[in-house]
Amino acid sequence: MDANDTGFSLDAFRLSRRGHTTNYKRKLAQKRTLRRLPTEAPGADVASPLAEQVRALAHDAGVDGAAFQCVAVAALQTLDRAGRRERRAAEAALSLAQRQMLDAMVEEVDEAAAALRQTLNAQGARLLDRDAPTRRPDETPEHSWWFALSEAVEVLEEGAAWIRSIAAGQPQDGPTHRLSRLVARLLHRHHDALFAEAEQWLG
């Protein structure tokens, strides 16, 4: 473990989310408007799919550090949540074009998650198993396109912000910070695509 790993654990991440539940449907009933994320500056990180970039990142010596492993687990949990919401939206899609767009997003998330799991060492795998989310019995598919879409947008927005924040203290050029940036950009792109769909309904 290097000096940057000291005091770094997934527990700190969970504290920021513990007890945090948001009723997005209630917010919508109160006519809350969805928020567009700031436009991301173009960069080399968007030149290839996230899965390929994660596989390339896996060759960095720093991936075995506790900091990277904690962020990798947090990223996997974030991608899992985003993927589940995107699947729900796909099931509720009103058109073939919407379904195809969301199916492609889900596929990208799944491929990124698969590549990310390959970067986990024994410590990371234990963290992932320990913190595996418990599926609630009320997590049934949402058949309303509007609600499924808005929930997906909210989850992507929260996920992009959270995954950036948890690696904020890591070196800018290190694998941990770069991983968080890559995952946040994927979530950001998906958010923008679904936000454009949501705008049609808000208008």
- Least confident range from 14-28, 116-130, 180-194: namely 14-28
Asked if pLDDT for residue 135 goes beyond 60, the answer is: no
Q: At what angle are helices 10-17 and 66-91 packed, to 10 degrees?
A: 40
Please calculate the CA angle 76-80-84 and round it to the nearest 5 degrees. 170
Instruction: Give percent of the chain above pLDDT 90.
Output: 47
111-126 per-position pLDDT tens digit: 999 999 999 999 888 9
- Least confident range from 8-22, 79-93, 105-119: namely 8-22
CA distances to 92, 93, 109, 124, 177 from 141, rounded to whole Å, are 8, 12, 19, 30, 34
Asked if pLDDT for residue 4 goes beyond 60, the answer is: no
Could you tell me the pTM of the whole model? 0.75
